[in-house]
Chains A and B, each alone.
Chain A
Amino acid sequence: MRRRLFGPRVKLAVGAALVLLMVACAVFAPWLAPHDPYAQDLMARLRPPVWADRGSWAHPLGTDNFGRDLLSRLIHGSRLSILVGLAAMALALTIGTTLGILAGYLGGRVEQVVMRFADAWQAIPEILLAIVVVAVLGGGVTVLILVLGFAGWEVYTRVTFNLGRSLRERPFVEAAIAAGAGGGYIMWRHLLPQMIPVLSVIATLQVGQLILQETALSFLGLGLPPPTATWGNILAEGRERLWVAPWIANLAGCAIILLVLGINLLGNGLRELLDPKRVGRG
């Protein structure tokens, strides 16, 4: 067998480094950021990053549409973006997986109730959900997390349901039932671990999606209002200026990519290292 380019340990190290870097940025933002992320200077707007022709070290990553320091905004933006992305993902994952396993394992009436509701949920545009939540609850971080979380659960439900109804007929589940294990125990100890690989892939990708979605919702007055630094807002502001100031959207996009890549590598590395079935070297 040819040598692997990167085994679980490398993945774990690179992934952990990326994620730690991002989290450190979020935690220490006020000390790390060279400028006030809200200080605007219209005369210095749309300055390119230091490596471009007209760049300077005063603003290493350039400035945005209002002359605010982009590096400082990205560092500060990591706080809310990571929080929203991870929290909303966790919410969706918990709701979706619980319902999906129940429906898959129990089948029958539970299956029909849960899965028909999931069908309906899938068809409802997210904007509608956002509109009703804004009308009832208003804006803010918590509401945003709730909306994004509740909008995205059915992904997990479908996947776990379909895996669950396949898994429940396997010998190890039948053995557990024969040994007198209860349904809850079987779902938790036997079904869920089998689903983790696929779930973790979907969850990782969803974090990136959720951070992007925050942008779309701020348009409805639901997300975090424009002066707030979030990666989504930076990206949205860069959108109109992709031609003249591509670095704004590109850098915010890179931040999201690095975070998702980090979580992905970290997750894969952890799983492969800890997996008892793992064979071969690491």
Chain B
Amino acid sequence: MAYLLRRLLLVPVPLLIVVVFVFVVLRLTGDPVAIYLGIDATPEQEALLRAELGLDDPVPVQFAWFLLDLLQGDFGNSLQHRAPAMELVGARLPATLQLAAMGLGLAIVLGVLGGIAAAVWNDRLPDLVLTALAVIGQSMPSFWLGILLIQLFALELGWLPTSGREGWESAVLPTLTLAVFLLPNFILVTRTAVLETAREQFVATARARGVGSARALFRHVLPNALNPVVSLVGLQLGRLMGGAVVTETVFAWPGVGRLMVSAIFQRDVPVVIAGVFIVAVTIVLANLVVDIVQAAIDPRIRLR
């Protein structure tokens, strides 16, 4: 309980680190005004816009103002879109959440099942096939798979639309692409964890007591093997954004990933921070849940 309380109290810390980092990097490595106005910019226009955006102050002062607004829930306005940053991110968020939830869900289910199968048939054909698939999946860039899927399912077979976000059909290929991006880690880590746990003393003891293999697997091996797999779920949330950007681009999926990348290139600080902030909150909370779930599954973990 004390542990949980402390963790909750510490939630703002990583968020603050993220905000400071993003702010400093974007402010110091590019000039949003120059990018926005382009090569035709006149000095008067630039001065005007800088004043309007408060970019005249020294960076630390700008940051102080920014933080003050942030504490009141105001992320500021996007220069490129000329609209409140959080509103923009919020409008794009459902598309990405849908993609992420379905992609990650599919990857977890298939990955854990595949990993268990590979471990159960260790060193035999299913293991060989699954391991090879995982390695291939991991070494295959998402854009490549995406274009392959479009060719097969949209052009050759004509079952699904190539791109866009209209109706459930349009979500199939992006979800699949993202799931394959996340899947290999789940297969191989589950496989290894199950195999390692199965060789431990307590499993041998259980088997010696006459516990059947299926029962041994589900009652003794799996709960203990899940530790690294659960860690992986939290971790994949971070990778998810990277995978989502590529997937959203290939499939013209109107998600936050593309918005963020273009905002980064345009040094549109409020949008980037609004987006990264949401990602960071998700990750921090997910990791908290992961840590607690692990402690619940694995009685040996003492939270202190």
B contact residues around A2 at 8 Å (CB) = 124
CB distance from B122 to the nearest CB of A (A): 8
A contact residues around B123 at 8 Å (CB) = 4-7
CB distance from B233 to the nearest CB of A (A): 10
> Interface stretch among A49-57, A59-67, A204-212?
A204-212
A contact residues around B28 at 8 Å (CB) = 132, 135
A119 within 8 A of B: yes
A contact residues around B124 at 8 Å (CB) = 2, 4-5
A contact residues around B147 at 8 Å (CB) = 242-243
B contact residues around A215 at 8 Å (CB) = 141
Which residues from chain B sit less than 8 Å from chain A, CB to CB? 6, 10, 13-15, 17-18, 21-22, 25-26, 28-30, 122-125, 127-128, 131-132, 134-136, 138-141, 143-144, 147-148, 151, 184-185, 188-189, 191-193, 195-196, 199, 227-228, 230-232, 234-235, 237-238, 241-242, 260-261, 264, 272, 276, 279-280, 283-284, 287, 290-291, 294, 298, 300-302, 304
A108 within 8 A of B: yes
CB distance from A33 to the nearest CB of B (A): 23
Are B228's CB and A159's CB within 8 A? yes
CB distance from B149 to the nearest CB of A (A): 12
Are B138's CB and A116's CB within 8 A? no
CB distance from A209 to the nearest CB of B (A): 7
Q: A119-B280, A119-B287, A122-B283 are in contact. Are A163 and B227 (CB under 8 A)?
A: yes
CB distance from A102 to the nearest CB of B (A): 15
A123 within 8 A of B: yes
B contact residues around A7 at 8 Å (CB) = 123
Pick the contact of A253: B139, B192, B261, B298 (CB < 8 A). B139
> Interface stretch among A70-78, A181-189, A254-262?
A254-262
CB distance from B112 to the nearest CB of A (A): 14
Pick the contact of B234: A158, A201, A212 (CB < 8 A). A158
Q: A131-B29, A158-B235, A277-B199 are in contact. Are A120 and B21 (CB under 8 A)?
A: yes
A279 within 8 A of B: yes
**A interface residues, tally (CB under 8 Å):** 57
A contact residues around B18 at 8 Å (CB) = 120, 123-124
Q: A124-B276, A128-B22, A163-B228 are in contact. Are A117 and B14 (CB under 8 A)?
A: yes
CB distance from A200 to the nearest CB of B (A): 8
Q: A6-B128, A163-B228, A197-B196 are in contact. Are A209 and B138 (CB under 8 A)?
A: yes
Main secondary structure of the interface of A (DSSP, over half): helix
Q: A169-B302, A201-B192, A253-B141 are in contact. Are A158 and B231 (CB under 8 A)?
A: yes
Q: Complex: how many Å from CA A127 to CA B143?
A: 17
Q: Find the B residue at minimum CB distance from A215.
A: B141
Q: Complex: how many Å from CA A201 to CA B15?
A: 30
Are A158's CB and B287's CB within 8 A? yes
Are B238's CB and A131's CB within 8 A? no
Q: Complex: how many Å from CA A106 to CA B242?
A: 32
CB distance from B42 to the nearest CB of A (A): 27
Are B300's CB and A169's CB within 8 A? yes
Are A260's CB and B300's CB within 8 A? no
Within 8 A of B (CB), among A116-166: 116-117, 119-120, 122-128, 131-132, 135, 154-155, 158-159, 161-163, 165-166
B contact residues around A122 at 8 Å (CB) = 235, 237-238, 283, 287
CB distance from B211 to the nearest CB of A (A): 18
In the complex, which of the residues B14, B132, B260, B280 has the most CB atoms of chain A within 10 Å of its own CB atom?
A: B14
B contact residues around A117 at 8 Å (CB) = 14, 17
Pick the contact of B139: A127, A155, A208 (CB < 8 A). A208
CB distance from B109 to the nearest CB of A (A): 19
A225 within 8 A of B: no
CB distance from B159 to the nearest CB of A (A): 20
Q: A5-B123, A7-B123, A202-B185 are in contact. Are A260 and B235 (CB under 8 A)?
A: no
Contact sample, A vs B, 28 pairs, CB 8 Å cutoff:
A4-B123, A5-B128, A119-B284, A120-B13, A122-B238, A124-B22, A125-B276, A132-B25, A158-B231, A162-B228, A162-B231, A162-B294, A163-B228, A165-B301, A166-B298, A166-B300, A169-B300, A197-B195, A198-B196, A205-B134, A205-B188, A235-B141, A242-B144, A243-B147, A253-B144, A257-B136, A257-B139, A261-B135
